[in-house]
Amino acid sequence: MTSVIRAFGSEVLKFRRWSVLAGTGAMVLVSTFIAYLTFHQIASGATGKEMTGLIEAFRTPQGLVAVIGQARSVIIAIALIMVAANLASEWTLGTLRNLLVLQPHRLRWLAGKMLALVLFVLLSMLLTLVVSGAFILILAPGQGIRTEAWTSADGLGIFVEFLGNEALCLVGISALGMLVAVLTRSVVTAVGVGLAYILVLEGIIAVVAPEVSQWFPGRVFNTIVGATVPMVGPTPLQGYPAALGAALLWIVGLVVVSAIVFPRQDVKA
């Protein structure tokens, strides 16, 4: 356990690098901008079929979450890039060999590194949602929008539930990013394969065979959040309990496969 903590501590120190913090900055800025655009459209009276649900939810306790949740695809994509690129860079930069000399127990090192990466992803997500939510709450009175429903007990309860499901979603995305990085061992390939799978491949399968795609990891991780607030993502076709169970199984499976593959790989300088 001590070696895991040491690996965790050494990775936490890397969070101070500008290249790492840039991911958090991009997540906050882009998500806040998307939330602002969504809010501005609704507040200015925009209409359209795609806006109907958002407009109906806007003045309810779900309103704030419905607005800031429109940037979820960006949060998921950046989280996947953070994990896959950070882990795969150990091979690309040739630093993995030196790290394993200091910590020869590979799984302990991987566990410490992934705990640090997941913590960073979750803190980035929390900062993003808090900043974008606070920004919308500050803008609302100037547009004549009442926010009592958003900050009511029901509204805060919905936000907390949304936050919990989003955290579980990003833990799953992080596990997926870990497996892709371990299999590809290249930053460019890991990021490209990860994004192509999440954004393209599963989307195509969802159109062709939705009954099958609903059990794929990306869809499962995404839909558990949509079960809380349908306006921020697709609702699980199999129901929330089944989707939650599938999400947990996928996380365990991704971690187990990574733990089997990683110790058996050759590591070259």
Per-residue pLDDT of 134-148, as tens digits, reads: 999 999 888 888 889
Residue 234 has pLDDT above 70, yes or no: yes
- 211, burial (CB in 10 Å: exposed 0-12, middle 13-18, buried 19+): exposed
HEC secondary structure over 104-120: CCHHHHHHHHHHHHHHH
Residue 269 has pLDDT above 60, yes or no: no
- Report d(CA 76, CA 154) in Å as an integer: 26
Mean pLDDT (the chain) is 88
Alpha helices of the chain — where are they, by DSSP H? Answer: 2-13, 18-43, 52-58, 63-68, 72-92, 96-102, 106-139, 153-184, 187-195, 202-208, 210-213, 217-226, 240-261
pLDDT band at 87 (very low <50, low <70, confident <90, very high): very high
Higher pLDDT, 226 or 186: 186
- Report d(CA 23, CA 18) in Å as an integer: 9
Buried b (16+ CB within 10 A) or exposed e, 76-93: bbbbbbbbbbbbbbbbbe
Residue 102 has pLDDT above 80, yes or no: no
Residue 239 has pLDDT above 70, yes or no: yes
pLDDT at 11: 79
- Kindly report whether the global pTM for this prediction surpasses the value 0.75: yes
pLDDT band at 99 (very low <50, low <70, confident <90, very high): confident
Average confidence (pLDDT) over 96-109: 79
- Report d(CA 153, CA 159) in Å as an integer: 10
pLDDT band at 159 (very low <50, low <70, confident <90, very high): very high
pLDDT at 179: 96
What is the share, in percent, of the chain residues with pLDDT greater than 70? 96
Residue 100 has pLDDT above 90, yes or no: no
pLDDT at 268: 65
Q: What's the one-letter identity of residue 137?
A: L
Q: Which residues contact 217 (CB under 8 A, 6 or more apart)?
A: 172, 176, 247, 250, 254
Residue 215 sits at φ, ψ, to 5 deg, of -100, 0
Residue with tokens 């799953």: 172
What is the share, in percent, of the chain residues with pLDDT greater than 90? 49
